Amino acid sequence: MSWQNKGLQIKRFIESNGSVQGAAIKLRELLEDKKHGPIIRQEFSLRECAEELRRKGYEQTPLRPGFVAEAVDVTQFSIIAGELISSRVMASYEAYPKVLDKLVTPFNSKLQIDKVPGTYVEGQMDDVEAGGPYNHTGDIKDKYVQITGKKRGMILDVTEEAVLFDQTGMVMLQAERFGELAAIDRETRGIYTIMDITVAGKNYYAWYPSGTRAALWANAGGSGHVHEYDNLIVDVLTDYTDLNSANTLLGLMKDDNGHNITIPATQLLTSRTLNLTATRLIKNTVMPGGANEERNPFADAVEVIHSPIIDGSGDVNATTMWFWGNFKRQFLNKVVYPMQVLRRKFNDNHDPAFERDILAQYKVREYSQVGAQDYRYVVKSTGAGS
């Protein structure tokens, strides 16, 4: 069943929308529609599109005898085909199973380096006698964490051969793969940063208090030390006592004024290897293995999240580590621009359409970075035991 049979013959489609740009806008709307989108994605032919735009160009521009014209108007072709390709890339990107967004709080940025403020007042509430003065002990203190980031991206080429031999299906598979790779890349970088590790010689560090890198997961070093409180344990995730070790440590955390932090844990993050154990510990209403069916004190207390990226990180404790706490309170996701698909505007100065028979190019890119704004809201266990 073709577009013609569906009433979406390309020539009429372009003409009925007034222009190539108008047709592209309408095509985008149809692709986003649950009813028409799947039909168009399946029936769309890059070759039919290119041939129609070529005929349209021939009708408007008479050719001199012996002159060989370009097969396709690359600008018009890339506009129309771009809607379909962009739709495939973004659909694949969104469909890829991700957990990072559950663990971070996003914020928009226009800066290469962000200094996320953490201003606080040093001082305490105090007794005030009747008619007596209030103590002026409040002193504004400045602290910040630094979050940088880099662009990430790649380019998808649509060649003349791909259109000539109507390899629409292969181009769409490539577009889907691009979307999937972009999702994997963002997810991997984010999870590695939460882990605060080095992989294959590349650093994925999360915490830069006052602009200087410090280990995110560490034991306390005393007053004035960058870690005044422990957020690292070694408990093997086996039963509720291990969860309680992390929860107890979390309850000892205090802010810069020495006030207890009362934000409760919301998530348990594990490797894929530990997912079954974690799920049993949280989802069972009674304690697993308990002879008297004693009620589980952590039943449905938090959301269980796992990521195979942890398992594949190469860390010595990759399959045994787990994290307990309020991730969104601790981790930020700086977004300069989210996932995008951009169409190349060809020009006469450097035109791949002429040099390499490229009919269209699409840039897949995103610019974001995960970073920690504190260390007090999540506890990590290596799971290595004592």
Phi, psi of 21 (to 5 degrees): -65, -40
Asked if the model's pLDDT at residue 257 lies above 80, the reply is no
Nearest to 312 by CA among 232, 200, 207, 236: 200
The reported pLDDT for the residue numbered 67 is 37
Report pLDDT for 6: 43
pLDDT digits (tens, 9 = 90+) for 103-129: 999 988 887 776 666 544 455 666 777
- The percentage of the chain sitting over the pLDDT mark of 90, rounded to a whole number, equals 41
Place of tokens 């305490």: 124
Beta bridge partners of 378: 325
Q: pTM here?
A: 0.81
Residue where the block lists tokens 């408007």: 60
Tell whether the model's pLDDT for residue 141 goes beyond 50: no
pLDDT-based confidence at residue 55 (cuts at 50, 70, 90): low
pLDDT at res. 136: 59
Q: Apex CA 62: angle with CA 59 and CA 63, to 5°?
A: 125
Domain borders along the chain are 214-336+370-381
CA distances to 7, 113, 204, 270 from 80, rounded to whole Å, are 17, 37, 39, 44
Please tell me the least confidently modeled range out of 35-39, 69-73, 303-307, 314-318: 69-73
First to last CA, the chain: 66
Is the confidence at residue 283, as pLDDT, over 90?
yes
